């Protein structure tokens, strides 16, 4: 059974800091991995999707990497801003297109 | 191009009543997924549907829960005889008919169900 872990559960950083969010998964037989953002009381916004054959994806200040063999992914956020404050969820796609989510990392960027 | 739409956004039910949650996928999408987010928990997969077919319902509780995606109209998640433990945010996602459904899933805003 696939399990996705995100540690720590919460993170507080000053504005401008570069930061790395970690995600690990137990079963390397995945099709892809996605990072989502969730604002309080809102839905999910897909940030980056990395196919299993890829090593990384970039979008603006975000860069996500995938090491399938070791079951790890990182989301790198450059020059963090208060507007980046949200919960960041990592999810892997397995059989039958099911997404298995981690519990998320709640990020707070202090002005 | 409208995104995934869910209604209602908030739903309050008393114990024993029925809850019906609706999801309209993005235009051109034929795959629909339902997930549940319990307080302090991550999102959990419930069911995966294509038009008129349930592909995988392994995450759905065996009793009181059902889902459908008819040929016409939205997908419906139905919860009969709700209990307090059903209080959660229910999210719907859709994806286009590509690569066996392994494309990005686009999420709706969710329906927040509160059972009194």
- What pLDDT is recorded for position B1? 55
Confidence of residue B33 (pLDDT cuts 50, 70, 90): very high
Confidence of residue B21 (pLDDT cuts 50, 70, 90): very high
pLDDT above 90 for B39? no
- What pLDDT is recorded for position B28? 86
pLDDT above 70 for B99? no
Q: Contacts of residue A45 in chain B, CB cutoff 8 Å?
A: 107
The least confident of A74-78, B9-13, B105-109 is: B105-109
- Per-residue 3-state assignment (H helix, E strand, C coil) for A20-71: EEEEEECCCCCCEEEEEEECCCCCEEEEEEEECCCCEEEECCEEEEEECCCC
Task: Tell me the C-alpha distance between A21 and B15, whole Å.
Answer: 40
Question: Please, which residues have CB within 8 angstroms of residue B44's CB and are 6 or more apart in sequence?
Answer: A101, B35, B36, B37, B38, B59
Whether A44 sits inside 8 A of B112 (CB atoms) is no
pLDDT above 90 for B10? yes
Interface membership of B105 toward A (CB under 8 Å): yes
List the single residue in B with minimal CA-CA distance to A30: B102
- What pLDDT is recorded for position A40? 87
Question: Please, which residues have CB within 8 angstroms of residue B93's CB and are 6 or more apart in sequence?
Answer: A44, A99, B4, B32, B33, B34, B35, B105, B106, B107, B108
pLDDT, tens digit, 9 for 90 and up, residues B43-67: 999 999 998 999 999 999 999 999 9
Whether B105 sits inside 8 A of A32 (CB atoms) is no
pLDDT less than 50: residues of chain A: none
């Amino acid at each position: 059974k696939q399990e996705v872990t995100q540690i720590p559960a919460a993170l507080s950083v000053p504005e401008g800091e570069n930061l790395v969010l970690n995600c690990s998964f137990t079963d390397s037989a995945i099709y892809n991995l996605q990072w989502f953002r969730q604002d309080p009381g809102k839905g999910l916004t897909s940030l980056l999707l990395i196919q299993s054959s890829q090593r990384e994806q970039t979008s603006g200040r975000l860069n996500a990497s995938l090491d399938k063999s070791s079951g790890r992914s990182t989301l790198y956020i450059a020059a963090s801003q208060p507007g980046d404050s949200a919960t960041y969820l990592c999810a892997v796609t397995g059989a039958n297109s099911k997404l298995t989510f981690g519990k998320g990392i709640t990020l707070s960027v202090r002005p | 191009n409208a995104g995934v739409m869910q209604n209602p956004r908030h739903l309050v039910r008393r114990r024993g009543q029925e809850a019906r949650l609706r999801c309209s996928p993005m235009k051109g999408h034929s795959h629909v997924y339902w997930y549940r987010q319990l307080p302090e928990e991550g999102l959990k997969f419930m069911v995966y549907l294509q038009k008129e077919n349930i592909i995988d319902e392994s995450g759905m509780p065996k009793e009181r829960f059902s889902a459908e995606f008819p040929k016409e109209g939205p997908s419906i998640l139905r919860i009969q005889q709700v209990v307090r433990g059903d209080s959660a945010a229910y999210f719907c996602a859709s994806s286009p008919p590509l690569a066996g459904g392994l494309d990005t899933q686009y999420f709706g805003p969710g329906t927040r169900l509160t059972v009194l």
